[in-house]
Amino acid sequence: GSKTALTALMNCAAVSCNCCGTRPRKRTKIVGGSDAGAGSWPWQVSLQMDRYGHVCGATLVANRWLISAAHCFQDSDAIKYSDARAWRAYMGMRVMTRGNNGAATRPIRRILLHPQYDQFTSDYDIALLELSAPVFFSDLVQPVCVPAPSHTFTTGTSCYVTGWGVLMEDGKSLSLQKQVLLNLLLN
């Protein structure tokens, strides 16, 4: 879905400096929907709500900013997903457990949806989230490199999709971060 497309885009970015995109604890590359090793994806963020746990993924792009999918913040009849105060960002996690398990956590200060986001077509399905305070970078918490606006991706580019999603439609969320190598398709 579009949640994983955003993470794939971010993981396809070319690394052009040491200020982002580094994986200090990265040891090996395992593909095919395998378990992700500690520190393999230090920009991966779990967005959680107190009563519901992990709801969506995000990507750390700076010490105060995350990027995620706008559809994660569409209110339902029962839940006000658009309320920034309901969310916490967990960074540096690999195993999804109750409690932070050593992860860096920050409340969300505000949620900015793309002004042209369309919930019916999923066009511009992107949001910026500001953390309540800066996060400190470590071996397990690093920002991703955001591609330049002029960068073009080509069909067939290999990209990793990472996260704690589901393995099948309506399946149960995973507790261990997964990674899979896919080829990018453009339309």
CA angle 137/143/149 to nearest 5° reads: 155
pLDDT in tens, 42-64: 899 999 998 888 888 999 999 99
What CATH number was assigned to the domain covering residues 2-183? 2.40.10.10
**Per-residue pLDDT at 174:** 59
Instruction: Look up residue 164 and give its two tokens.
Output: 């704690």
Starting at the edge strand that comes first in sequence, how are the strands of the sheet with 34-35 ordered? 34-35, 178-183, 158-163
Cβ–Cβ < 8 Å for 25, 92: no
**Per-residue pLDDT at 116:** 96
Residues with pLDDT less than 50, the chain: 1-18, 26-32
Q: SS3 of 178, please? A: strand
**Per-residue pLDDT at 97:** 59
Instruction: Look up residue 1 and give its two tokens.
Output: 């879905």
Cβ–Cβ < 8 Å for 130, 113: no
**Per-residue pLDDT at 47:** 92
**Per-residue pLDDT at 53:** 84
**Per-residue pLDDT at 89:** 95
**Per-residue pLDDT at 25:** 55
CA angle 50/56/61 to nearest 5° reads: 110
- Core vs surface per residue 134-162: b (16+ CB within 10 A) or e: ebebeebbbbbbbeeeeeeeeeeeebbbb
pLDDT in tens, 23-43: 665 443 333 455 666 667 889
